[in-house]
Amino acid sequence: MFSLFIENIKISVSSVLSNMTRSLLTALGVVIGILAVTLMGTLISGLDQSFEKSMEFLGKDVLYIRKFQWFGNKDWWEIRNRPNIQTKHSETIRNKSQYAKYVAPVAEWWTSVKKGDENVSGVRVSGTTEEFAMITIAEVDKGRFFSRAENRSGARVAIIGKDISDALFQDKNSLGERIRIGSYNFRVIGEMEKQGKFLGMFSLDNQVIIPIGAHQRLFSRRGWTGINVKVDEADLDNATEELTALMRQVRRLRPSDEDNFAINRQDPFKEQYAMIKIAIGGTGLFITILSLVVGGIGIANIMFVSVKERTKEIGTRKALGATSKMILFQFLMESVIICLFGGLIGLGLAYGGSLIINSFFPSEMPFGLALAALGLSMIVGIVSGLAPSYKAAKLNPIDALRYE
């Protein structure tokens, strides 16, 4: 039976190849279906990777006290009038909170950073305290973070991000060098490791970190402020409640007043992301199913034509001793091979597409999905080939031989 199997594959392959244009057109639906499902998989895997990285940056165990809710449904005019977060409240939180392990105020402003003739504009300048180093996931790559003493004295020292060191220093040593942040001189004491983009939107490496004292003196109260609080992951909910209470206390809110601040964490990002993922996956799946069904009908149609055209061949084969089962198998195989052929083309195109996606954010074509896609095209081949093959198998050899 095995040699018959091989022979059948050969017959089918040669039949598919000798009708190349027809096979290609027929397989188009399957090509698109497989392309859609694999590209979708690649996209999602890429988004997953980049999302996970971005979430690492936010940290599972960090609460962000901010003016705005990250994913709020409040009207903007209501929150616009909220008071800014005052960085001095970080002291209160550190002193009173049971759950806070590290507390760092953060003030941000955007300005240009210069070294000689080199200039980078739109750099995020973060002012914070030495505790920030304990909260952020990013490590200091070269040099060091500033000390408590430097923070207290408002020393003009800076830790620069990878984008800045690349632009201003290239391969040269940056440590100890002077740079101009806005119109003020700072001394570089450290470089942060490369962090990449946040959700593919902006570079986390396009920043400099300076002591908050210096930040507030030099960049006054421009930009936005907030307080980052690191807690134990298990205490997130309790800590959120406690921080809310503390903030209400320092802001002297009456019980009837609404919160005029927000305690943010990464969870809502995850919820939003899950929804985006469902949307992408759903669209991809819809396109896939639609094109596979349409493609399958096309294949069934072309197989009916093929059976009709080759009625005499079927009669001859039966006269020479082919059983109905063997004829069924031959045509089924042909249909499967057209589909596999379409599946392989789809995978090839998807691979090309994944390289394009990869140039936007790191992603890879999931191998398991590629295999599943080929399996799926085989199933389409079997399902759509079944009726035509059955028709071929059931042909009466005498009638088939007489067919002109």
Partner 1 sequence: MSLIFLKNIYKIYNVGGEEVRALDGVDLTIKENEYLAIMGPSGSGKSTLMNMVGCLDTPSSGDYEFEGEKVHNMDDNQLASIRNRKIGFVFQTFNLLPKATAQHNVEIPLVYANIKREKRLKMASNALASVGLDDRMHHKPNELSGGQRQRVAIARALVNNPSLILADEPTGNLDSKSGQEIMNIFDTLHQNGNTIVLVTHEDSIASHANRTIRLFDGKIIEDVAK
> Interface residues with partner 1 (CB under 8 A)?
1, 3-4, 7, 14-15, 18, 312-313, 315-326, 397-398, 401
CB of 341 to partner 1, least distance (A): 17
148-158 burial, b at 16+ Cβ within 10 Å, e below that, comes to eebbeebbbbb
**Dihedral (CA of 90, 94, 100, 104) sign:** positive
The residues, ordered by sequence, that sit 6+ positions from 296 with a Cβ below 8 Å of its Cβ are 29, 30, 380, 383, 384
CB of 2 to partner 1, least distance (A): 9
CB of 22 to partner 1, least distance (A): 14
Which residue's CB is nearer to partner 1, number 10 or number 178?
Answer: 10
The residues, ordered by sequence, that sit 6+ positions from 393 with a Cβ below 8 Å of its Cβ are 324, 325, 327, 328, 331
Name the CA radius of gyration of the chain, rounded: 33
Which residue's CB is nearer to partner 1, number 355 or number 398?
Answer: 398
Which residue's CB is nearer to partner 1, number 20 or number 289?
Answer: 20
Which residue's CB is nearer to partner 1, number 276 or number 398?
Answer: 398
CB of 314 to partner 1, least distance (A): 11
What is the torsion angle, in degrees rounded to the nearest 10, for the CA atoms of residue 316, residue 319, residue 322 and residue 323?
Answer: 120
Specify the 3-state DSSP secondary structure of 135.
Answer: helix
In angstroms, the CA 390 to CA 380 distance is: 16
In angstroms, the CA 359 to CA 190 distance is: 30
CB of 5 to partner 1, least distance (A): 10
In angstroms, the CA 203 to CA 194 distance is: 10
Which residue's CB is nearer to partner 1, number 18 or number 73?
Answer: 18
Which residue's CB is nearer to partner 1, number 14 or number 238?
Answer: 14
Q: How many CB atoms lie within 10 A of CB 248?
A: 17
CB of 339 to partner 1, least distance (A): 21
